[in-house]
Structure 1
Amino acid sequence: MFCHVFLTGPPGIGKTTLIRKVSEVLISSGVPVDGFYTEEVRQGHRRVGFDVVTISGNRGKLARISGDANNDRCRHRVGQYVVDISSFEQLVLPLMDPFSSTKALNKRVCVIDEIGKMELFSQPFTSAVGKVLDNPSVVVLGTLPVSKGRLLPFVEEIRHRQDVKLFNVTKQNRDEIVHEIVTSIEECRIEKSK
């Protein structure tokens, strides 16, 4: 039986929008939900980076376009973006810490959007995700990038876990699968309470 629900699909397909919609439905139904999602940062029509936003509305920098390659040489990069590991960890790690413990978290939902190249530069984050996924009291609602080119071993490990149900998000199904995702999470919560 699966215990976690992950969405996958190409960039820009609507995974984060789905995560936010599903979280809103769960919260309005009285389900305890916490975690984070990733949001584009734009200046006009140009994307200049990404922020991490918690379900409660706190915001921290994840990555920005690099202006000076010499200053950014020692930093972690994904394409044109420099990842701010320190900012990411300061916001996300304390948020995930309670989900690593089995105390008072029974049937809570932990949102992790996303487990991708930028986030995986943080070894403490990778470790925290592993602990949360192994916690028998927590249901994870997360996103994984589409595998293309070089595979990310940790992402592939999650993708192939026996306790993960994977939804492939497409332009054709993204508006219709909210109910199916919510139902799957409710089934996970029922299974966790047995």
Structure 2
Amino acid sequence: MKSKKILITGRPGIGKTTVIKKTVHRLREMGITSDGFYTEEIRENGARVGFRIIGLSGFEGVLAHVNFDTNLRVGRYFVDTGDLDKCIDGIKKSESETVIIDEIGKMEMFSEKFREFVDELLESDKVVIGTVGERLVGRFKDRAEVIRIGIENRDKAADLILDLLSE
């Protein structure tokens, strides 16, 4: 696999994280290990109350919650980048040649360590597969191949990513 940088974008809820999970699963089936993280919703009584960070190496933390006491805020969620920074420290120690970042979004960008890490990755020899918020795409489009997903192509997006990696 060549050193490629692939970022997926699309509207919230379209399935970007699902594409990432499918891609990681397919890479594992091919014997390719990856490190990194994805985010998932924290729900209480059916309502979304925050976002959790799930590291591919087993790390778990919380990025944002309605009950956090911080000055950093996106919508109704208060952001604490401490767990994200710890997750990044672990990924940096990894020997993996493939790094998964889900996502490069407003909340994550509050972290200086995260911003620097993304910049380092995009200049590295590693394969990088990530998701990026639509409003942030312009910042990265010159350093990565950007795939916009929608209802019409989300089911085949993991195949497209794997095809791009094998070119």
Counterpart-to-counterpart distance in 1, 2:49 and 2:77:
8
> 1: distance between equivalents of 2:61 and 2:22?
21
1:2 offset after TM fit, Å? 7.9
Matches within 5 A, 1:136-147: 136=125, 138-147=126-135
Matched with 2:43 is: 42
Structure number with bigger Rg: 1
1:157 is matched with 139
Q: Which residue of 1 aligns with 2:118?
A: 129
1:169 aligns with 2:164: no
SS at structure 2 position matched to 1:113: strand
Q: Retained in 2: the 8 A contact 1:38–1:52?
A: yes
Q: How does 1:52-91 map to 2 (within 5 A)?
A: 52-66=53-67, 72=69, 74-90=70-86
Q: State which of 178, 182, 185 in structure 1 corresponds to 2:158.
A: 178
Give the TM-score normalised by structure 1: 0.79
Runs of at least 4 residues of structure 1 off by over 4 A? none
Check if 1:116 corresponds to 2:112.
no
Once residues 6 and 129 of structure 1 are traced to their aligned partners in structure 2, the CA distance between those partners, rounded to angstroms, is 12
AA partner of residue 13 (structure 2): G
- Equivalent residue, structure 2, for 1:192: none
**Number of residue equivalences:** 166
Q: 1:156 deviation in Å?
A: 2.4
Residue 13 (structure 1) shift: 0.5
Partner SS state of residue 52, structure 2: strand
Q: Which runs of 5+ in 1 are unaligned?
A: 188-194
1:124 to partner: Cα distance: 1.1
Residues 146-177 of structure 1: per-residue CA shift (max 9 Å, x gap): 12xxxx4xx5221232xx11111101211122
User: Does the 8 A contact of 1:66 with 1:80 survive in 2?
Assistant: no
Matched residue type, 2:40: E
> RMSD of the TM alignment (CA)?
1.9
Aligned partner of residue 154 in structure 2, secondary structure: coil
Q: Does the Cα contact within 8 Å between 1:62 and 1:87 map onto a contact in 2?
A: yes
Verify: 1:97 aligned to 2:92, yes or no: yes
Q: Provide structure 2 residue ranges, at least 5 long, that are not aligned to the other structure.
A: none
